[in-house]
Every structure is written in structure tokens, then in C-alpha cells.
């Protein structure tokens, strides 16, 4: 398991360098926020309502209400855990796509999430946020690698 995590970090810091570098900069901006590890990724709880994965760095909105914590500081909440599996799936996409990740996954995902046109389309057509290819694929990868359930799956 430790070898897998070392390989994960090595790949994120080489093949996934552009997004990992961006994630590290955002991590430094949020250095005073709570942090923990999830399968080798560095998770930071940030203010706001959006989550993002940049290389080996995952940023999760902390304003979703009070979060109970386990002894190691990891939030103890099944919804949070499913979200972490999903976001971890994005970190695996980063390893697979390397420098293409931001163009194939990151930018389309940000547009799908934030553009009011797509928000309206999802609401009017009762379409899941996780039906978009970037999000659906992240769920599949996160579940396969962690063996746990992700967001948007039963």
C-alpha cells in the first residue's frame, strides 16, 4: 500500500505536474484550513460550496454544515466519504491524462458545474450533475480504486 501511494505521488508530481502545481499553490493559499489524507491525496477543507481536484490536491467545501470528525481528523460522514471517492476519481484522471487533464477534464467540468446554462438544463431536465462524462468517469475510477461508493451512485 505504501508503494502504491509513493507511485501515486510520483506520477502526480511528474506526469500530472501542471495540475499538481496549481493545486499546491491553492493549498498554500489555504494552508490554515483543515487538512487530511485520502489514499495519498491531500484534502483541504475550503470555504464555499464547490469542490475541485488539482493533481494530488483535493479541495472540499466546508460550509455544508457541521462535520463530525474521527480521531484522525477525517470527517465522519457517509456523504462526505462518497464525495471524497468521487474527487479521488478526478485525481486518477489526472494520472491517466497527465498534462491533458486540465483540457479534457478540468475545464469542461468547471463549465458544466458553473455555467448557468448547464445549471438550468440540469434542473429543467432533472439531469444528475454526475451524468456528465467528466463526473461519471470520476465516479467509476474512484469506486474502482478505493472499493467504496461515490456520489451519484446507489
The domain segmentation of the chain, as residue ranges, is 2-146
Average pLDDT on 98-112 reads 97
pLDDT at 37: 93
Which 3 state secondary structure label does DSSP give 45?
A: strand
Q: What pTM does this model have?
A: 0.89
**Cβ of 112: how many Cβ atoms within 10 Å?**
18
Confidence bin at 75 (pLDDT 50/70/90): low
Amino acid at each position: 500500500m505504501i508503494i502504491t501511494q509513493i507511485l501515486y505521488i510520483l506520477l502526480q508530481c511528474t506526469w500530472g505536474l501542471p495540475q499538481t502545481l496549481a493545486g499546491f499553490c491553492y493549498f498554500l493559499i489555504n494552508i490554515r484550513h483543515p487538512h487530511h489524507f485520502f489514499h495519498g491525496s491531500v484534502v483541504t477543507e475550503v470555504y464555499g460550496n464547490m469542490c475541485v481536484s488539482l493533481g494530488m490536491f483535493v479541495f472540499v467545501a466546508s460550509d455544508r454544515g457541521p462535520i463530525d470528525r474521527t480521531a484522525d481528523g477525517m470527517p465522519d460522514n457517509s456523504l462526505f466519504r462518497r464525495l471524497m471517492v468521487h474527487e479521488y476519481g478526478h485525481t486518477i484522471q489526472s494520472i491517466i491524462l497527465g498534462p491533458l487533464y486540465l483540457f479534457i477534464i478540468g475545464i469542461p467540468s468547471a463549465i458544466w458545474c458553473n455555467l448557468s446554462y448547464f445549471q438550468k438544463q440540469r434542473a429543467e431536465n432533472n439531469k444528475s450533475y454526475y451524468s456528465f462524462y467528466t463526473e461519471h468517469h470520476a465516479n467509476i475510477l474512484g469506486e474502482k480504486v478505493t472499493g467504496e461508493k461515490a456520489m451519484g451512485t446507489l
